[in-house]
C-alpha cells in the first residue's frame, strides 16, 4: 500500500501536506466495488484541484529544504469507464510523498532542525523515494532521505518524529520507532551509545536507556535544565526522586547512572575541587534533603592519579577520609568531616549533585 501526500498550502509559517488517500489496489472484485466511491472521491479532488497537488514552493518560491520532487503514476486494476476517466485526469501527479506504507511499516516525512550528529550511508542503484524506503527496511534502519536522485540511509542516529520543525532537513522516519530511544541528547537507534565520558557509558537497548551496569533508567527528563532554582555559582542541581520506593527527596543512582542522568539534563556530575564548591553542595543538601549523608562526586583515577573532573586538579591526601581503592568510585561522606571515600561503582545508590557547563539564569 502506498499513501501519497502532496504539498498543499501554507499555514502559520509552515508548509503543510494533504494526504491523497486511500489509493490502494484491491484484488477482490467485491472489495473493489466497496472501495470505488472513496477512490473516486480522492481522485476527483486531485483532478479538480491541480494547484494543491503541484504547489511545492515556499512563500519565497523555493522548494523545501532537502525535498525531492517526483512524478507518481496512479495504478489500479479497476476497469469501470468512470474510474478510467478519473484516473486519466489525475494520473502523473508531481509532488513529494508524505507517507509511505510498505507492508506493516510506515515512513512519515519529517522536517527537523535538530543538530544531532547523524551518520548517513548512500545506497547505490536506488531510483525513487519508495525504493529508498525499502532499502532502509532491508538495512534494518529507521530513517532515510531522498534528494536529487540520491538515497541516504541513517545508520547512526534518528530524528524524533514527535518534534517536527518548519525549517531544516527533510527526512522520512519510521512511525513505529519502538527500538529507538528519544532523549534530550537526541534520538538513538537500538544498540547505539548515548552517553560516554571515558569511564561511563549508557546505550539504547530495545527502546530503553540502559546504564553501564545494565540498569534500565526511567523518568529521564527529555529537556535540558534552563534555569537554576538557587543562586549558587555554578548552579547546583539535584535530580528529584519520584515513586513510592524513593525514601529520599533527591534521586539516588549508581555512579555511572548518576553521570548519565546529569547528562540528560545537559549537566555534569559535580566536582569539589575547591572548598567553595563543596560548601555550596552541602548547603543545598541541608536545605533540600538534610538526611543525605553521602553523595557521588566527579573524581576519577586518570593516568595513575586521582583527580577532580573536569578540572583535572589532583586530589590531595588530606581530602581522603580513607585510602582510595582502584576501580572504585568517589563520594563525599558527611560523617567523615565531608571528606572523600571510594566504594564499588555499582555497589550502592547515592544522591548526586549536577552542575551546568555554563551559567544559568535564576528561575
Contact present, 299 and 336 (Cβ < 8 Å): no
- Check whether residue 79 and residue 169 sit in a common domain: no
- Check whether residue 227 and residue 350 sit in a common domain: yes
Q: Is residue 12 part of a domain?
A: yes
- Check whether residue 116 and residue 66 sit in a common domain: no
Q: Is residue 361 part of a domain?
A: no
- Cα–Cα distance measured from residue 187 to residue 171, given in angstroms and rounded to the nearest whole number: 14
**Average pLDDT of the residues in 37-45:** 40
**Average pLDDT of the residues in 325-345:** 97
Q: Is residue 337 part of a domain?
A: yes
- Check whether residue 239 and residue 348 sit in a common domain: yes
**Average pLDDT of the residues in 39-55:** 36
Q: Is residue 197 part of a domain?
A: no
Q: Residue 110 class from Cβ within 10 Å (0-12 exposed, 13-18 middle, 19+ buried)? A: buried
- Check whether residue 77 and residue 109 sit in a common domain: no
The set of cell numbers assigned to 301 is 583515577
Residue that terminates a domain, selected from 96, 131, 156 = 96
**Average pLDDT of the residues in 164-170:** 87
- Check whether residue 137 and residue 43 sit in a common domain: no
Q: Is residue 362 part of a domain?
A: no
**Average pLDDT of the residues in 146-158:** 92
Q: Report the CATH number that the domain containing residue 351 is assigned in CATH.
A: 3.10.100.10
Q: Helix, strand or coil for residue 15?
A: strand
Half-sphere exposure of 37 (CA within 13 A, CB side): 1
Percent of the chain topping pLDDT 70: 72
- Check whether residue 92 and residue 110 sit in a common domain: no
Q: What is the pLDDT of residue 85?
A: 59
Contact present, 182 and 159 (Cβ < 8 Å): no
Mean pLDDT of the chain: 78
49 vs 230, residue with greater confidence:
230
Q: Is residue 346 part of a domain?
A: yes
Per DSSP, 118 falls in state -
> Which tens digits make up the pLDDT trace of 94-119?
667 788 888 888 999 999 888 788 99
- Cα–Cα distance measured from residue 58 to residue 143, given in angstroms and rounded to the nearest whole number: 24
- Cα–Cα distance measured from residue 184 to residue 263, given in angstroms and rounded to the nearest whole number: 9
Residue that terminates a domain, selected from 96, 126, 155 = 96
- Check whether residue 237 and residue 316 sit in a common domain: yes
Give me the number of domains the chain comprises. 3
- With 60 as the cut, is the pLDDT of residue 47 above it? no
Contact present, 254 and 213 (Cβ < 8 Å): yes
Expressed as residue numbers, the domain containing 351 is: 223-356
Using a cut of 0.75, tell me whether the model's pTM lies above it: no
- Check whether residue 318 and residue 227 sit in a common domain: yes
- Check whether residue 262 and residue 326 sit in a common domain: yes
- Check whether residue 238 and residue 350 sit in a common domain: yes
- The helix-helix angle for 29-48 and 81-90 (nearest 10°) equals 40
Neighbour-count burial for 140-173, b at 16+ CB within 10 Å, e otherwise: ebbbbbbbeeebbbbbbbbbbbeebeeebbbbbb
Residue that terminates a domain, selected from 96, 131, 150 = 96
- Check whether residue 108 and residue 79 sit in a common domain: no
Q: What is the pLDDT of residue 218?
A: 84
Amino acid at each position: 500500500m502506498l499513501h501519497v501526500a502532496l504539498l498543499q498550502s501554507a499555514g502559520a509559517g509552515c508548509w503543510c501536506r494533504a494526504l491523497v488517500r486511500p489509493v490502494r489496489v484491491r484484488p477482490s472484485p467485491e472489495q473493489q466495488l466497496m472501495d470505488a466511491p472513496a477512490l473516486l472521491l480522492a481522485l476527483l479532488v486531485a483532478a479538480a484541484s491541480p494547484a494543491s497537488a503541484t504547489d511545492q514552493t515556499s512563500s519565497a518560491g523555493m522548494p523545501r529544504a532537502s525535498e525531492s520532487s517526483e512524478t507518481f503514476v496512479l495504478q489500479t486494476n479497476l476497469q469501470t469507464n468512470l474510474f478510467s476517466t478519473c484516473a486519466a485526469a489525475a494520473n502523473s501527479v508531481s509532488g513529494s510523498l508524505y507517507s509511505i506504507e510498505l507492508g506493516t511499516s510506515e515512513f512519515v516525512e519529517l522536517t527537523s532542525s535538530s543538530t544531532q550528529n547523524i551518520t548517513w550511508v548512500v545506497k547505490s542503484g536506488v531510483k525513487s523515494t519508495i525504493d529508498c524506503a525499502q532499502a532502509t527496511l532491508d538495512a534494518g534502519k529507521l530513517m532515510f532521505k531522498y534528494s536529487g536522485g540520491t538515497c541516504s540511509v541513517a545508520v547512526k542516529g534518528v530524528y524524533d518524529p514527535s518534534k517536527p520543525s518548519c525549517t531544516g532537513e527533510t527526512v522520512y522516519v519510521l512511525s513505529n520507532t519502538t527500538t529507538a530511544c528519544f532523549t534530550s541528547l537526541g534520538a538513538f537507534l537500538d544498540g547505539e551509545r548515548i552517553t560516554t565520558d571515558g569511564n561511563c557509558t549508557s546505550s539504547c537497548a530495545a527502546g530503553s536507556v540502559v546504564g553501564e551496569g545494565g540498569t534500565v533508567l526511567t523518568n529521564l527528563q527529555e529537556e535540558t535544565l534552563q534555569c537554576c532554582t538557587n543562586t549558587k555559582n555554578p548552579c547546583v542541581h539535584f535530580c528529584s526522586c519520584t515513586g513510592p520506593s524513593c525514601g529520599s527527596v533527591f534521586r539516588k543512582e549508581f555512579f555511572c547512572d548518576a553521570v548519565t542522568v546529569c547528562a540528560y539534563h545537559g549537566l555534569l556530575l559535580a566536582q569539589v575541587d575547591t572548598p567553595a564548591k563543596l560548601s555550596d553542595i552541602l548547603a543545598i543538601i541541608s536545605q533540600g534533603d538534610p538526611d543525605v549523608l553521602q553523595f557521588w562526586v566527579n573524581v576519577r583515577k586518570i593516568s595513575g592519579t586521582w583527580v577532580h573532573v573536569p578540572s583535572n586538579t589532583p586530589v590531595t591526601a588530606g581530602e581522603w577520609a580513607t585510602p582510595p581503592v582502584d576501580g572504585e568510585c568517589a563520594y563525599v561522606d558527611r560523617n567523615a568531616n565531608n571528606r572523600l571515600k571510594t566504594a564499588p561503582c555499582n555497589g550502592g545508590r547515592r544522591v548526586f549533585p549536577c552542575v551546568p557547563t555554563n551559567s544559568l539564569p535564576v528561575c
